[in-house]
Structure 1
Amino acid sequence: MLRILLARFIVAQFTKRGSSCNQLSISVQSIKEMDDIELIRLRKSYAGELSFEGKETNLAFKVIAFRPVDEEGLSIPGLTVEIHLRVGLTADRCKYTFTLFRLSRQKKRRIYQLEVVPKAKRSHNGPPRLFGPHEHLGESRILPVQSDMDCTNYVGWLEFFALE
């Protein structure tokens, strides 16, 4: 049941994500010409069923990966969303990563990521050394996230990712 609710929520949140792009469909060429920020802001949604799968290298993590679609329901070339979820034995121990990847030269390249861990936990070895939730814009820009949410609010963090 939780899987179904989270999958429906993902669909709803990605559909809400706004953009000023009025194109009816997105070509491979137009995707190649867009910079990362334009791709992050592009309206995306998902059609189909989603379910968590176990991560091969660490069974404590669950993973959802999907290719977002445009407003016409067509797959957006070269974009992938991955959500990694680890719920700790207690509510204050978690790790969530929500990532938007772009295919570039046949390799997945992170263009945006929200990483959520407890506020007191070191989350980035640096530089900069960070504690708690933070965002990655591309491979080089890292920003701490100021929020009152904690690990118990998975849906809130998912919404934060989808609306950023």
Structure 2
Amino acid sequence: MAEQLIPHARSGFDDEPDLGCLEEFDQIIRLQGLRSALLYLNALVPHRFTALYRLDGPTFVCRAAVDAEQEELTLDLTEVPVADSYCQFVVRDGVYWTPDSLTDPVLAGHKHRELVRSYIGTRVGHPGQSAQGSLCHFDFSPWSVNVDQVAFFEHAAMRLRPFL
């Protein structure tokens, strides 16, 4: 049933991006749950992965992740030390993105700079309080970022708080 609510197949990312619909997203959460909600968000971007992480002390713990290519991963995404994660910048700044980690000075010297080439992340938590987690899209290839989509993801992330 999730496929019926996914906005489009994973092609056409050179065209005008689908910015998503919060009402549709709310319906997916209510009727189908977290994994389908992440599939919906993942279909909006060219990035291969979409994940929801909970901040637990010095570690980000993966609550759920989807892989657009649906392959078996050799990369362990279950727990990531804060210092090794791009999510640390989301906690610090509220939102963080990079179209290409190799050209981003913020990531100079970062452990995963050459592996995770593109990233979009936004905080998950109560407004006015510290971040409880991060909603992110990432890929091994560089991808441009649409700032209008980032704004949508910020709103979508707030709806995922109950899943942390």
* TM-score normalised over the length of structure 2: 0.30
- Greater RCO (Cα-Cα under 8 Å, separation 6 or more): 2
The structure whose residues are more often helix, as a share, is: 2
